[in-house]
Amino acid sequence: MPDEEAAAFTLEHLRRMFPDLMGDRILAAHVWRAPHAQPVVERGYRRLIPDTRTPLANLFLATMAQIYPEDRGTNYAIRQGREVARAAAVTLDGAG
């Protein structure tokens, strides 16, 4: 599916949730593609898991690639987000 078609399809459904989402409020639409629908867990995956801390100050990472050994799941995404938000709050609190 071409990018424009993918964006139009997505916007159509976003407008079902947010009827006021009109053209002038949309600055740009970017279609992002990946070779796999989710991280591919291979042997020794634990060593490949990205850290929640990044080399950039105050930038944290919370992603499906860190959900392990469980498989993807919205409940795990929420858990992951909360844990990383807590770590970020502690870091930022200490920095302030």
Ligand X SMILES: Cc1cc2nc3c(=O)[nH]c(=O)nc-3n(C[C@H](O)[C@H](O)[C@H](O)COP(=O)(O)OP(=O)(O)OC[C@H]3O[C@@H](n4cnc5c(N)ncnc54)[C@H](O)[C@@H]3O)c2cc1C
Dihedral sign computed on CA atoms, order 30, 22, 77, 5: negative
Residues 50-89 vs ligand X: string with x where CB under 6 A? ----------------------xxx--x------------
As measured in angstroms, the least distance from the Cβ of 72 to ligand X is: 4
CB 55 within 8 A of CB 77: no
Confirm or reject binding of residue 27 to ligand X (CB under 6 A): no
The site for ligand X (CB under 6 A) is made up of 32, 37-38, 72-74, 77
